[in-house]
Structure 1
Amino acid sequence: MNLPKNIKCAIFDMDGVIIDSEEIHKKAYYETFESIKVKVSDELYKTLTGSSTLNAFQKLVEYFNLELNPEDLVLAKRKRYVNYFENDPNLHLVDGVEEIIKYFYQKGLILILASSSAMVNINRVFDRFNLHQYFTAKISGADLKESKPNPEIFLKAAKLASTPKENCFVIEDSDNGVKAANDAGIYVFGYQNPLAADQTLKNANKRIKSFKELKEFI
């Protein structure tokens, strides 16, 4: 698939694309795993990246045949995440992302957030880093029937932008997110975040290591 010539909409993932939160998500997950006494291998954890927290715990409850409520596990993990979020002064935006957000905004692109995170976490990030002003809409995968790698979230993003999907592109850092964009039929840039080195992004239409590279295309 070639990048559309008439680009009108940029669809951003959040964790690992806008904010370097992958590490605190991982800490919160593994503390929760430890609390319920399950050992999640690196390979299994890799398959959860990009999915909603509920989807991840539904998968793990089935995988380990646990008699636990996935929704209770979501709340337990979220509590740990919030603690890290509020108490880690080093938490920061991904290098170069604020500049590229402003660049797209100034060029008149419609910006949509399409994240698997819960809306409460999305708003927490957008409040802390003052990002609301740039985005037309924000979508939480936790509010949808299916999580990434299902394409629903990106199809909804294009709809909220009132833009044909052929005039959109996605920025993702996970294989599940890339597959969701692929299946939605939307061009996808795979951002190779050093903190998500376990994600191959092999099916992205174009892989980038820096957001500055996007200026060559947009």
Structure 2
Amino acid sequence: MPLKAVLFDMDGVIVDTEPLHRKAYFKTFNELEIAVSEDLYTSFTGASTKRVCETLIYEFNLNQTHEEIAKTKRDYFKDYFYNDEEFDLIPGVKELIQHYHENGIKLILASSATMTTINMVFEKFELEKYFSGKISGADLKESKPHPEVFLLAAEMAGEPVENCMVIEDSTNGILAAHRAKIFCAAYRSPHSKNQDYTLADTVISDYADLELDKVSKYF
């Protein structure tokens, strides 16, 4: 079965917003005058902003509501998103997206990020024209490692799962692709620490390795 659609995760695959979230959080901690240790911050990985804010209120006995803290953090994040010099696409990903697009491969974004963040990224880096659909896991009942987001993405592409490929960088995303029975290419980024690539069908650290002539052997 030939490859017809590629389902992209966003964070860690197309952009890396983690450093921006980190800066925004630490600026928020400063404003709240609390000292958050690295260990506590690390424990927030993958948690929703709401949960992080609730934890802070509990741990530091704060008077603010989680909505107030989340708003402060969001405002800082937005500021960094548009003004941080270092924030850019992950090297080689734009070329890969253009390569698939030129070769008639359908592209669907299947990310756990909110649609607001997805749209911000697409607008800033002019990606809209390459993708035929976007799904935010934040709108779904189940999140990765549940396969729902990728099954919906394949459906959106109008292709059976065996004609699709997922590009992921996290343990949960790889597991979700595996459960959806979709071929998964894991991108091993310098930023992704402690991720488990065991269930990925191929692991790459350079996007040139996912060009069609290289991956056609799997389909």
Q: Which bracket does the TM-score occupy, shorter chain normalised? A: 0.7 to 0.9
Return the match for 1:85 from 81, 99, 105: 81
Instruction: Give the distance between the partners of 1:165 and 1:61, measured in 2 at CA.
Output: 39
Return the match for 2:23 from 11, 16, 27: 27
Kindly indicate whether residue 211 of structure 2 is the aligned counterpart of residue 212 of structure 1. no
Instruction: Give the distance between the partners of 2:201 and 2:28, measured in 1 at CA.
Output: 35
Kindly indicate whether residue 180 of structure 2 is the aligned counterpart of residue 181 of structure 1. no
CA 70–170 in structure 1, closer or farther in 2 if over 3 Å, else same: farther
Kindly indicate whether residue 136 of structure 2 is the aligned counterpart of residue 140 of structure 1. yes
Instruction: Give the distance between the partners of 1:157 and 1:72, measured in 2 at CA.
Output: 34
Kindly indicate whether residue 189 of structure 2 is the aligned counterpart of residue 190 of structure 1. no
| Structure 2 SS opposite 1:213 | helix
CA 87–60 in structure 1, closer or farther in 2 if over 3 Å, else same: closer
The answer (yes or no) to whether the contact 1:12–1:111 under 8 Å persists in 2 is: yes
The 5-angstrom pairing of residues 1-218 of structure 1 reads: 5-31=1-27, 35=32, 39=37, 41=39, 44-46=43-45, 48=46, 53=48, 57-58=50-51, 61=54, 74-215=70-211, 216-218=214-216
Q: Which runs of 5+ in 2 are unaligned?
A: none
Instruction: Give the distance between the partners of 1:210 and 1:106, measured in 2 at CA.
Output: 20
Q: Which runs of 5+ in 1 are unaligned?
A: none
Instruction: Give the distance between the partners of 1:124 and 1:103, measured in 2 at CA.
Output: 23
Instruction: Give the distance between the partners of 1:181 and 1:217, measured in 2 at CA.
Output: 17
Q: Which has the larger radius of gyration?
A: 2
The answer (yes or no) to whether the contact 1:154–1:181 under 8 Å persists in 2 is: yes
Instruction: Give the distance between the partners of 1:90 and 1:181, measured in 2 at CA.
Output: 30
Displacement of 1:117 in angstroms is: 1.3
Displacement of 1:126 in angstroms is: 0.9
Amino acid at match of 1:107: N
TM-score relative to the length of structure 1? 0.81
Q: Give CA-to-partner distance per residue, 1:172-218, whole Å, 9 cap, x none.
A: 11112112112222111110110223323232221110001112114
The answer (yes or no) to whether the contact 2:112–2:137 under 8 Å persists in 1 is: yes
The answer (yes or no) to whether the contact 1:116–1:142 under 8 Å persists in 2 is: yes
Q: Give CA-to-partner distance per residue, 1:35-90, whole Å, 9 cap, x none.
A: 495656265344x1xx6x35xx4488489967997666554433222121011022
Instruction: Give the distance between the partners of 1:160 and 1:36, measured in 2 at CA.
Output: 46
The answer (yes or no) to whether the contact 1:22–1:196 under 8 Å persists in 2 is: no
Instruction: Give the distance between the partners of 1:186 and 1:103, measured in 2 at CA.
Output: 21
The answer (yes or no) to whether the contact 1:33–1:39 under 8 Å persists in 2 is: no
| Structure 1 SS opposite 2:43 | helix
CA 72–174 in structure 1, closer or farther in 2 if over 3 Å, else same: farther
CA 104–45 in structure 1, closer or farther in 2 if over 3 Å, else same: same
| Structure 2 SS opposite 1:190 | strand
Instruction: Give the distance between the partners of 1:123 and 1:171, measured in 2 at CA.
Output: 19
